[in-house]
Amino acid sequence: MLQAVNQTMKRSVFLVALYVFFLIFSLLSLFFGETGVTALDKIRVRNQLLSGNLVALDSKHEDLIAKLTALRSDPESIVVGARALGLYRTDDKVVQFRNMKYAHPLPDAGGVLHLSPLPQTDESLLRIFATAAGIIFLLFSLIIWKLRDAVKTK
């Protein structure tokens, strides 16, 4: 009878240690795993950044379409665009200033040019922590169980 109770207690200690392992692994995965809360926050921030950049690029696209339409149909816009590039008619009078630091600005291609891939969290570290917690809980349960048996026998 006493041995059956001991076997049942051993089994329950192992089951509780197993439950602790799964609980800690689940909680660590929930917060720090590949699909955890922190990873989803990083993805949400990246999504907002890309959405903002997409809106800015759509706006630039509309401006460029309007400029292209004007260049196709309006001769004055062609003259203005050519002068911006440093091209002039033969009958134009041009005054050049020396030692002026003038440069043509590069067209803005949007705010985000390259995003590095999100770092992947290795879940083996989470498994190690959860296994260690389960083993530690199991050892403490066995030590307490042995001490309780030693106190009962005295």
Inter-residue contact 124 to 29 (CB < 8 Å): no
In a domain, 22, yes or no: yes
In a domain, 30, yes or no: yes
pTM exceeds 0.85 for this model: no
In a domain, 110, yes or no: no
In a domain, 116, yes or no: no
Query: Model confidence over 61-98: pLDDT tens digits?
Result: 999 899 889 888 888 888 888 887 878 888 888 777 67
> Whole domain around residue 139: which residue ranges?
11-97+124-153
In a domain, 54, yes or no: yes
Closest among 128, 123, 95, 113 to 39, alpha carbons compared? 123
Which of 39-43, 81-85, 128-132 has the least mean pLDDT? 128-132
Query: Model confidence over 18-37: pLDDT tens digits?
Result: 777 777 777 777 777 777 78
Inter-residue contact 108 to 60 (CB < 8 Å): yes
